[in-house]
């Protein structure tokens, strides 16, 4: 692990522009500097406060109030902004995108990005939508850390005219940020993520909403007794509201399809409960346990419970540093 590239070794990109410096943008800065993947990192953030924080934390060498300025002369431009603003940002940058540069993004929806940003990509610029499957429930430039992408998957969804060499260079970039890389079509990405990410977030948001509007159970009771499972849903439901609104607005079809499946299955379970069908419940609960085992074996989660971490008294104070 090195904090800068060695003097003899040319970094993968001369100039990387992070368009948006929240959880993912700031984590990318940490990961890029960990391996010396860029000669210079510059950035753009819409808010003056984020720009000041990014400078203070050393996340970027230069920070700009517009995406167009940040993109100027960059070899790799990474859109790290909510899906809903990516097309506008791309349009703003069009004039300043350097021929040969790679433009990518980190959004949780790929079909809409591929479709909406494409019109603003000048000839000679390599547009390769991407999505690192990594995150926490925290937002903002202070939430990032270098190891966020380690062992996680990053999906690249090249568009029909994406250049092979550019795809391989971007793959190498993500691998050096710690990720495994997979390549698929934008549409297949959106279907897979609908079930592994979008619907889980939606039902987490939904149960928090349901719990907040009961007449016979108070809000204070919901909070006091949340350790029975509910609090884990609130963790998921604490993610950035703007980002998630844009996900649901931009992956409507796949989300509605998966939600239909979910509701059908839930109705079946509801019926098993109503008629006291313990065997069906037991079998289904046992099958679910096996999926968990597979995820741990695939290195996508640890087998350690959150309560265990609590037991070891790791407090939020440990977070920085």
Asked if 119 interacts with a second copy (CB under 8 A), we say: no
Which tokens belong to 42? 């510059």
- Of 116 and 246, nearer to a second copy (C-beta) is 246
Total site size for a second copy, rule CB under 8 A: 118
The reply on whether position 118 binds a second copy by CB under 8 A is no
CB of 175 to a second copy, least distance (A): 15
d(CA 168, CA 116): 24
β-pairing verdict for 130-132 and 153-156? antiparallel
Residue 193 contacts a second copy per CB under 8 A:
yes
24 interacts with a second copy by CB under 8 A:
no
The contact mask relative to a second copy for 133-172 (x = CB under 8 A, - = no) is: xxxxxx------xxxx-x-xx-x-----------------
Residues 198-237 that bind a second copy (CB under 8 A): 198-214, 216-217, 219, 221-237
CB of 270 to a second copy, least distance (A): 6
Of 123 and 288, CB closest to a second copy: 288
As to burial, measured by CB atoms within 10 angstroms (0-12 exposed, 13-18 middle, 19+ buried), residue 62 is: middle
**Closer to a second copy at the Cβ: 6 or 318?**
318
Rounded distance between C-alpha atoms, residue 126 and residue 104, angstroms = 8
Residues 254-293 that bind a second copy (CB under 8 A): 255-256, 258-259, 261-263, 265-266, 269-270, 272-274, 276, 278, 281-282, 284-289, 291-293
Task: Work out whether 238 is an interface residue with a second copy (CB under 8 A).
Answer: yes
Examine residue 7 and tell whether it contacts a second copy (CB under 8 A): no
d(CA 162, CA 157): 9
- Does position 65 bind a second copy by CB under 8 A? no
Partners of 159 in the β-ladder: none
If binding is defined by CB under 8 A, does position 10 make contact with a second copy? no
Smallest distance, a second copy to C-beta of residue 24, A: 12
Residue 88 binds to a second copy (criterion: CB under 8 A): no
CA angle, residues 143, 148, 150, in degrees to nearest 5: 170
Contact 157, 110 (CB under 8 A): yes
Question: Residue 43: beta bridge partners?
Answer: 18, 63
Q: Which range of residues in 61-69, 70-78, 130-138, 169-177 is near a second copy by CB under 8 A?
A: 130-138
Q: Which is nearer to a second copy, 124 or 299 (CB)?
A: 299
Q: Is residue 183 within the footprint of a second copy (CB under 8 A)?
A: no
Encode burial over 20-39: b for 16+ CB neighbours within 10 A, e otherwise. Answer: bbbbbbbbbbbbbbbbbbbb
153-156: strand order across its sheet: 130-132, 153-156, 180-183
Rounded to a whole number of angstroms, the minimum distance from the CB of residue 253 to a second copy is 10
Smallest distance from a second copy to CB 91, Å: 20
DSSP code at position 194: I
Output 87 or 203, the one with its CB closest to a second copy. Answer: 203
Q: Of 135, 191, 134, 181, which Cα lies nearest the Cα of 158?
A: 181
> Which residues in 185-219 are b (16+ Cβ under 10 Å) and which e?
ebeebbbbbbbebbbebbbbbebbeebeeeeeeee
CB nearer to a second copy: give 10 or 310. Answer: 310
């Amino acid at each position: 692990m090195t904090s800068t590239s060695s003097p003899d070794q040319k970094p993968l990109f001369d100039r990387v522009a992070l368009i948006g410096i929240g959880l993912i943008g700031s984590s990318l800065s940490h990961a890029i500097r960990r391996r010396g993947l860029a000669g210079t990192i510059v950035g753009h953030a819409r808010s003056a406060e984020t720009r000041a924080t990014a400078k203070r934390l050393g996340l970027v060498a230069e920070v700009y109030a517009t995406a167009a300025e940040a993109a100027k002369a960059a070899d790799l431009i990474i859109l790290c902004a909510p899906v809903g603003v990516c097309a506008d940002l791309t349009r703003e940058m069009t004039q300043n995108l350097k021929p040969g540069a790679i433009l990518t993004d980190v959004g949780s929806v790929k079909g809409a990005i591929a479709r909406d940003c494409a019109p603003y990509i000048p000839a000679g610029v390599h547009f390769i939508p991407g999505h690192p499957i990594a995150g926490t429930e925290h937002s903002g430039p202070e939430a990032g850390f270098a190891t966020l992408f380690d062992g996680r998957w990053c999906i690249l969804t090249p568009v029909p005219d994406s250049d092979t060499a550019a795809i391989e260079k971007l793959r190498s970039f993500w691998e050096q940020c710690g990720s495994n890389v997979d390549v698929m079509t934008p549409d297949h990405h959106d279907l897979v993520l609908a079930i592994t990410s979008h619907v889980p977030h939606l039902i987490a948001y939904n149960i928090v909403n349901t719990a907040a509007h009961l007449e016979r159970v108070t809000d204070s009771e919901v909070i006091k007794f949340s350790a029975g499972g509910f609090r884990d849903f609130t963790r998921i439901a604490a993610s950035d509201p703007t980002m998630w609104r844009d996900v649901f607005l931009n992956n409507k079809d796949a989300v509605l399809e998966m939600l239909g499946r979910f509701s059908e299955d839930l109705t079946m379970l509801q019926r098993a409960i109503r008629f006291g069908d313990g065997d069906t419940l037991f079998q289904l609960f046992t099958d679910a346990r096996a999926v968990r085992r597979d995820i741990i074996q695939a290195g996508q989660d640890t087998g350690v419970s959150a309560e265990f971490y609590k037991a070891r008294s790791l407090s939020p104070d440990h977070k920085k540093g």
